[in-house]
Structure formats: structure tokens, C-alpha cells
């Protein structure tokens, strides 16, 4: 689960989590948060997700974070954009073009100063990317980065607890309750069953306020 793991996944095209279209669950459930148009939405571990394009098309500015340079470069290339690049210290790089700002580098090195204008967080493939031992650290950092009152749309997965089947990993609903104990949940809805390696998994949509 280190940097080399994810770089290799992108290099080898092992990106089964990437969808060539906006996630239907985002499109359906985003309105539940009532996020004001024109504000900024944070997408952690964003890859080159088409969900960011959909959010921009709805009138939002997008702030993404992605560890792998190749994924960031691919996103801007596929959108036909030429971004500016700016070093943020020694380990992070900010790419910007149009409504998109992507910070390349380790999620755990992000500063709340860079997310201070965020009005909502969209998490489709971030929490489920972490094994159990790392999820508390992820949740703590996300809650440090998200301004008070920001919305949170989370799409989680539950399925067989078999470590070698991840990532993505199964995240039990009870664990989400513990990780985000102070969250004001507006919506929790199991909406879809998916097949992974011959096993049935369930996707659940959560909408809340930090």
C-alpha cells in the first residue's frame, strides 16, 4: 500500500476502479447535500476520475488529490487542458487548469490551509482503498482537512473480508460509524450489488455533514 504499489497499478493499467463515465450514484445522490454552485469540492485519491468532470459541469470548482503523477497528467491530457504546475514544499505539486486544481502527492501531507474553501467532499474510492489498519488515520486526516459544515458524500463497499481481495477493501457500516462518530448523517442507503472475483458486494451511499 505504499507509493510504489499505486504507481505500478497505474503503469500496468490495473485500474479496475476507474470508470469511463461519471458514477451513477454520484449523479443520483449528490443533490442530497445541497452544495452551493460555484463552490469548491474536494476529491481525495481522485485518480483521473470522470466524476471530477461531472462536478465541474454542474458548476463546481474541483480540488483533487492524487499520489501518482501519471494519473494527474492523464487527467489533464484527456480533458485537453495544459495545466500550470507549482511546487508545494518538497513533496507536493499543484496542477491547475480551468476549474480543476489537483495536488499530486501524499494525502497525509495535505494542509488544511489548502482545503479551507472546500464546501463538500466526494469520496468514491478513497476510504475503501485503505486496509483496516490505515483507515483510522485516513478518517482523522479527512476530518482535519474538511471545514466544519462541509458536506460529505461517501460511496462505500461491503463484502467478504478477504485481505487479498483488496484494494478496494470491504468497510463495514459499523466501522464507518466509529471512524466518523461526529458526523451528522443525512442519508445512508444500500443501493447496489456488484460482483468482484465471483463474490457479491454491496455499495452504500452515505451523505453527511462534517
User: What are the residue boundaries of the structural domains of the chain, listed by start?
Assistant: 3-13+22-30+37-209
Per-residue model confidence as pLDDT tens digits over 152-203: 999 998 887 665 566 788 899 999 999 999 999 998 887 777 776 677 888 8
Per-residue model confidence as pLDDT tens digits over 112-162: 999 999 999 999 989 999 999 999 999 999 999 999 999 999 999 888 766
One-letter-per-residue 3-state SS of the chain? CCHHHHHHHHHCCCCCCCCCCCCHHHHHHHHHHCCCCCCEEEECCCCCCHHHHHHHHCCCEEEEEECCHHHHHHHHHHCCCCCEEEEECCCEEEEEECCEEEEECCHHHCCHHHCCCEEEEEECCCHHHCCHHHHHHHHHHHHHHCCCCCEEEEEEEECCCCHHHCCCCCCCHHHHHHHCCCCEEEEEEEEEEEEECCEEEEEEEEEEEC
* CB-based contact 43:65 (threshold 8 Å): yes
Kindly report the CATH number that applies to the domain delimited by 3-13+22-30+37-209: 3.40.50.150
Average pLDDT score, the chain: 90
Instruction: Band the pLDDT of 1: cuts 50, 70, 90.
Output: low
Contacts of 160 (CB under 8 A, 6+ apart): 170, 199, 201
Amino acid at each position: 500500500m505504499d507509493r510504489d504499489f499505486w504507481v505500478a497499478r497505474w503503469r500496468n493499467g490495473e485500474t479496475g476502479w476507474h470508470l469511463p463515465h461519471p458514477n451513477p450514484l454520484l449523479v443520483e445522490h449528490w443533490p442530497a447535500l445541497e452544495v452551493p454552485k460555484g463552490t469548491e469540492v474536494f476529491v481525495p485519491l481522485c485518480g483521473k476520475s470522470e466524476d471530477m468532470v461531472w462536478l465541474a459541469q454542474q458548476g463546481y470548482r474541483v480540488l483533487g488529490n492524487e499520489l501518482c503523477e501519471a494519473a494527474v497528467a492523464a487527467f489533464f491530457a484527456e480533458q485537453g487542458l495544459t495545466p500550470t504546475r507549482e511546487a508545494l514544499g518538497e513533496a507536493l505539486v499543484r496542477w491547475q487548469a480551468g476549474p480543476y486544481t489537483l495536488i499530486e502527492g501524499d494525502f497525509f501531507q495535505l494542509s488544511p490551509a489548502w482545503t479551507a474553501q472546500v464546501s463538500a467532499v466526494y469520496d468514491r474510492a478513497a476510504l475503501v482503498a485503505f486496509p483496516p489498519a490505515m483507515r483510522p488515520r485516513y478518517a482523522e486526516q479527512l476530518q482535519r482537512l474538511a471545514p466544519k459544515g462541509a458536506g460529505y458524500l461517501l460511496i462505500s463497499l461491503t463484502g467478504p473480508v478477504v485481505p487479498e481481495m483488496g484494494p478496494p477493501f470491504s468497510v463495514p457500516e459499523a466501522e464507518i460509524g466509529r471512524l466518523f462518530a461526529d458526523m451528522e448523517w443525512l442519508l445512508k442507503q444500500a443501493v447496489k450489488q456488484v460482483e468482484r472475483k465471483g463474490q457479491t458486494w454491496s455499495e452504500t451511499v452515505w451523505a453527511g455533514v462534517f
